[in-house]
Amino acid sequence: MTSTRSPPWPAANGSWKDGTDRGWRDAVGILSEGVPYASYAAAQNNTGINDDSAPSAASFDGGSLSFSAQALADNGLVSGEQKTINGVTFTWPATAVPDNIVASGQAVPVSGSGSTLGFLGASNNGTGSGSGTVVYSDGTTQSFALGFADWWSGSAIPGTSIAATIPYLNNGSGKQNQTVHVYYASVPLNPAKTVQYVVLPHVTDDGKVAQITALHVFAIGIGG
């Protein structure tokens, strides 16, 4: 759904202020935490991928479990390289640095035009889902739903698909034979407009704590 109501434009720090003492809010009034972000990279707040030689260097699930960079690369998701899925081109993040965004209502700079907004990600400790917002450069907004199945799940949730099936994970001390997944989700865009920001769903306040359901976004792309 696209709104023709122009949101208050970002202040110098990139957040939207609602004019009250309730604090900073995004374009549609959903509380945004941790904004502003000057770049997509600045919004990445979790390290979920590590090298097999350093299995304790990441923690996707808030505990000791993480994706293997080598296993991901064997399935087409190579650190720093592009991957095109259903016409949307993504850049897969680097290894052993913050590589994904734990969705908690952040406004993330994403620029471009096309018919499809794509996401690569996964959830931990269950299915994470919620409502987000596309903010176009002309001030209009469009709401969307985003969700990913748990990375251990054998199937994607409706409206998404499995982008990669990984045969093992790293558990802090080495490899663990557990199949995990990265998922693809897409949102239709107005191709006549230019995207300026994507406000992610507010799924959790702290998804970097073990046993908390969290939705992780590894990459966002625009295509079509």
Q: How far is CA 88 from CA 54, 91, 113, 186, 221, in A?
A: 31, 10, 11, 9, 6
How much is the pTM?
0.86
pLDDT score, position 26: 42
Average pLDDT over residues 156-178: 97
pLDDT at 210: 74
- pLDDT of residue 142 exceeding 60: yes
Q: Give CA separation, 94 vs 98, 100, 106, 146, 218, in Å.
A: 8, 10, 21, 24, 10
pLDDT at 12 > cutoff 80:
no
Percent of the chain scored above 90 by pLDDT?
Answer: 78
Comparing CA positions, the residue from 145, 169, 158 lying closest to residue 63 is 169
Q: At residue 5, does pLDDT exceed 50?
A: no
Please give the pLDDT value at position 3: 39
CA 144/CA 157 separation, integer angstroms? 16
Q: What is the mean pLDDT of the chain?
A: 86
Of 18-22, 51-55, 69-73, 76-80, give the lowest mean pLDDT range.
18-22
pLDDT tens digits along 111-129 = 999 999 999 999 999 999 9
pLDDT confidence tier of residue 17, bands split at 50, 70 and 90: very low
> Which tens digits make up the pLDDT trace of 173-215?
999 999 999 999 999 999 999 999 999 999 998 767 778 999 9
